[in-house]
Amino acid sequence: MSDDFRFTLKATDGNARLGAITMPRGEIRTPAFMPVGTAGTVKAMYLDQVRDLGADIILGNTYHLMLRPGAERVARLGGLHSLIRWPHPILTDSGGFQVMSLAALREIDEKKGVTFKSHIDGSVHHMSPERSIEIQGLLGSDIQMQLDECVRLPAERAEIEKSTEMSLAWAERCREAFGDQPGKAMFGIVQGGDIPDLRIRSARGLAGLDLKGYAVGGLAVGEPQEVMLAMLETTLPELPTAKPRYLMGVGTPDDILKSVARGIDMFDCVMPTRAGRHGLAFTRRGKVNLRNARHAEDLRPLDEESDCPATRDYSRAYLHHLVRSNESLGGMLLTWNNLHYYQQLMQGIRKAIAEGRYDDFVAETQEGWARGDILPV
């Protein structure tokens, strides 16, 4: 593995990009999907399983880990990698999104950062750009995100513009706090809501900082898919082609296909794990709701052609029973299925770009979803 953080662009097909990030803890094949390990665990999965499914990197959450068990404690215990038994790359988000969505009584000051009350016990915490980078360093994160302010859409232009400028100022402070760490990276986060000129302003400002990678944030926060895609089409031409591009919090399999087509390299989303815990399976035939009574006496698996045991070896009748009974095993098996599907999708995406047939792959995948699930027994 490389002693430095490096991104290599290996092939393109239209705007879709095939590449690899190399760093001391391993290689990340791109386009990549990063399972979300919010509090040091990918919910309902062993991390050995997550690795076996094809994940090169997982995501940890700064907000949750700083509250419990605490960043200093994680550092005393040897860092997040050894604590959770994941020796491969970890990306941590800055905590900005969770402060917006979970914390109570949030107060924001451009110079001081964010003061907020924990959603767990009401205790008061402070996070400046410098403290966010310090926390991510204590965790031992390989790819660290700048502290940003995320605005929930729809919002007024004045609010979005203020947030965008603050996030740009914080990016520069995070870069200074991060310093020179050859084997690690800090990514800036493009904000600007759903306003094209603010997106361009943010992207150009971040590009001028010459960071190791760039994320597109502030999407997947309530806007329609067409708005998200339009913002990508506006933003991505302003970012350096030689640096990785990460779309935060996205998304559905269809979101991923369409975002790769516009030049995105990295994704994370709770969707496959959260859906699994609520009885929803992603398959090559589209989504399957195992709560539905049609599965109650169906001894067929979700997909007999799959190489994932959860998908191939367990009957729909049993999965239906587990889900309806609120048994933990139901969520475990469907999460296993869903993460397998997402990683198989990424593998197919990478292969198609390498072969110069990405548009055909997208069409074939969407046709499979459109055909729908197998007929009931």
Cross-strand bridge partners of residue 109: 113
pTM tops 0.95: yes
- Residue-wise pLDDT for 204-233, tens only, equals 999 999 999 999 999 988 889 999 999 999
- pLDDT attached to residue 162: 95
- Residue-wise pLDDT for 284-337, tens only, equals 999 999 999 999 999 999 999 999 999 999 999 999 999 999 999 999 999 999
- pLDDT attached to residue 241: 98
Separate counts of helices (H) and strands (E) for the chain: 15, 16
Q: What is the mean pLDDT of residues 69-98?
A: 95
Element (H, E) at 350: helix 328-355
Q: Are 157 and 195 in contact (CB under 8 A)?
A: yes
Sequence-separated (6 or more) residues with CB below 8 Å from residue 237:
none
64 φ, ψ to 5°? -65, -40
Q: Which CATH number is 6-269 given?
A: 3.20.20.105
Element (H, E) at 136: helix 129-139
Q: What angle do CA 213, 214, 217 make, to 5 degrees?
A: 150
Q: How far, CA to CA in Å, does 318 sit from each of 27, 148, 297?
A: 38, 44, 9
Q: Which amino acid is at 226?
A: E
Q: What is the mean pLDDT of residues 347-356?
A: 98
Q: What is the mean pLDDT of residues 129-134?
A: 96
3-class DSSP state of 233: helix
Q: Is 184 exposed, middle or buried (0-12, 13-18, 19+ CB in 10 A)?
A: buried
Pairing between β-strand 213-216 and β-strand 185-190 as defined by DSSP bridges: parallel
Q: For the chain, which residues make up each domain, given as ranges? A: 6-269, 278-370
Q: What is the mean pLDDT of residues 55-76?
A: 96
Asked whether the predicted pLDDT for residue 100 surpasses 90, the reply is: no
Active site residue 268: yes
Q: What is the mean pLDDT of residues 22-37?
A: 98
The single residue of 56, 93, 142, 373 carrying the catalytic annotation is: 93
Active site residue 142: no
Identify which has the larger pLDDT, 116 or 73.
73
Rounded Cα gap, residues 224 and 269, in angstroms: 17
The single residue of 56, 142, 148, 268 carrying the catalytic annotation is: 268
Asked if omega into 69 is within 30° of 0 (cis), the reply is yes
- Residue-wise pLDDT for 159-211, tens only, equals 999 999 999 999 999 999 999 999 999 999 999 999 999 999 999 999 999 99
> What are the start-end ranges of the E strands in the chain?
6-13, 16-23, 26-30, 32-35, 58-61, 90-93, 104-109, 113-117, 124-127, 143-145, 185-190, 213-216, 245-247, 266-269, 280-283, 286-289
